[in-house]
Amino acid sequence: MIPKRNERNQMKTRIKRIVFAASALLLLGVAAVFAQPKGDTVTVKGEVVDLWCYLEGGDHGAEHKKCGTACAKAGNPIGLLTEKGEIYVMMGIKDHQPGKDVLIEKMSETVTVEGTLVKKGGTQVIYVSTVK
């Protein structure tokens, strides 16, 4: 039995939708692979700080949590201060994700982050994938 014209059109439309959806998923997967920063995977332990106050006046620690959180909410960058005094700028691993999206709840706390380290022109950034 040959399907009627209307049934054939509906079947073609379904096939087109399936092909479109599969293509879109494939493109999203490819885009996610290419959006990843290039660098070494690192694990670094340190205190989460807002960079505005830390770089301007050295402010950090538990007594600075409220101000640091307010600065981060205002859009100032978040950093990680190690025991050796090294500073890493924190960013999320997702494309264009700010550090505050993954670390604001940990402001002034000591954490261990894992992510991709990228260094350029004296700046070192960790694109954070996990926080412990």
The string of DSSP letters for the chain reads: -PPPHHHHHHHHHHHHHHHHHHHHHHHHHHHHHHTSPPSEEEEEEEEEEEHHHHHHH---SGGGHHHHHHHHHTT--EEEE-TT--EEEEEESSTT-BTHHHHGGGTTSEEEEEEEEEEETTEEEEEEEEE-
- pLDDT tens-digit series, residues 73-123: 999 999 999 999 999 999 998 888 889 899 999 999 999 999 999 999 999
pLDDT score, position 103: 94
User: Mean pLDDT across the stretch 45-64?
Assistant: 93
